[in-house]
Amino acid sequence: MSSMTEVELVLYCIIALIILENLFEVYIALRQVKVFKTSNKVPEELKAHMSNETFHKARKYGLDREQFGICKCLFMDICVIPLELYFGLMAYMWQAALNWVNYFKLNADNEIIVSCFFVVLISLHGYLKDLPFKLYGTFVLEQKHGFNKQTARFFIWDQIKGLLVGNILTVLVSAAVVFIVQWGGEHFFIYLWVFAGVLSLILLTIYPIFIAPLFDKYTPLEEGELRKSIEGLAASLKFPLTKLYVVEGSKRSSHSNAYFYGLWNSKRIVLFDTLLLNKGKKDITDLKDEDKGKGCTNEEVLAVLGHELGHWKLGHVTKNIIIMQINLLLIFFNFNTLFKYAPFYEAVGFTPGVKPILVGLFVILSYVMAPYNALLGYAMTILSRRFEYQADEFAQKLGFSEKLCQALIKLNLDNLGFPIHDWLYSSWSHSHPTLLQRMHRLQELDEADKKKK
């Protein structure tokens, strides 16, 4: 019996890592499924706000979503992806890209050109794989629980725009990455890091202004009490607010959100129309009955923004950017060290001597560094939860504790968020503390302030 070759060892190790990581994801998801199935009572803290009917609606919604996620993980991540690696799908895609380059009579020896065709083919393949799950998630699962607002026409047009914009950006970035690696010599990872840093800042600037409006309608928040209150809050915190928008997210979903974006002294705040009471409309005659009364009052919206502005005031955005840049430098350094190792390419189906740069980058980042990525993801989840508590405390110091609690409860109810979670599932999966954890923390802060007085 012949011993396992180095190439086979690399392939089986990669497949084993993928399967083990996703089996762990399934395990913690099954723990949460058990919680959904066994939790039958509204928590004491929410009995005044959450009816038994809403509680069981949220339980069923959470259960459906979790079971759907488990099925998708078992099929795609534990079955399909390992089979694609085993049978060398990436090598077939690279050959297909070469065929297209030859068909258009372009230079097949130019790796940048071949790479551009390759990433488009990989992108389309990934999109088609995910499409049935996307359709089910949108038009069956979300529709069943009353969240989907997309028509088939809106969905199709949205997908076309997403594919076009996504592929244009991917092709441009991929071409630049291959060029930098070829041109940069031994220390190309430094140039790649600088490029990634500059690119991320550019995208942070242009995405909300030029790309996001291709998918959703943004309109300035109309003059009135809410606008004056938000501008007053921003001014009191010296937040450089330049624009205040409402995004028509209700055409896509009834889930709510609010965020800010922009660099340095030009910040913009965006409110989802679903966040506002009755979608922010004074005349509610045209609203569907299911939408009437939903959303937050002006005071509650202000409390939510007090939390969001806390992230800015406490430097959370800057800290995350710094962490991301350090991580990118480490990733590119590892790529620089490992990308010439031939078994990585042969393990995914390439003939000896063929080592496409993008394939090496993808294999190393997605598979070889998978344990590191999982641990980093968990560390960032812990940090994110810490930041959320700090932003809540910031809002509490502004006097928004009661209204923020009310807003959190209301948003949880409107989004059918289930208030009970398995501890391991929550600590691994939730970037935000749970509703009850945040309520308890705000109450503790209020009680501590009372004792000081």
Hey, which residues are catalytic here? 308, 392
Give 246's strand partners: 219, 271
231's tokens: 């501008």
State the residue for tokens 């009572």: 41
Distance CA 314, CA 425 (A): 28
For 324, half-sphere exposure in the C-beta direction (CA atoms, 13 angstrom radius) is 13
Give 78's DSSP letter: I
CA-based R_g, the chain, Å: 25
Binding residue per annotation — 307? Answer: yes
Contact 381, 320 (CB under 8 A): no
Distance CA 321, CA 319 (A): 5
Q: Where are the alpha helices (DSSP H) in 76-110?
A: 81-86, 89-103
- The DSSP string of 278-340 is GGG-S--TTS-GGGTT-SB-HHHHHHHHHHHHHHHHTTHHHHHHHHHHHHHHHHHHHHHHHTT
3-state helix/strand/coil string of 231-277: HHHHHHCCCCEEEEEEECHHHCECCCCEEEECCCCCEEEEEECCCEH
Distance CA 362, CA 434 (A): 34
Distance CA 245, CA 227 (A): 10
State the residue for tokens 């930098």: 180
167's tokens: 């592929």
Distance CA 451, CA 453 (A): 5
Give 262's strand partners: none
Distance CA 159, CA 232 (A): 39
Give 431's DSSP letter: S
Binding residue per annotation — 311? Answer: yes
**337 φ, ψ to 5°?**
-75, -35
Q: Which residues contact 402 (CB under 8 A, 6 or more apart)?
A: none
Handedness of CA 102, 106, 110, 114 (dihedral sign): negative
Tell me whether strands 218-220 and 258-261 are parallel, antiparallel or unpaired: unpaired
State the residue for tokens 């509204």: 42
310's tokens: 């806390």
As annotated, the binding site for Zn(2+) includes 307, 311, 388
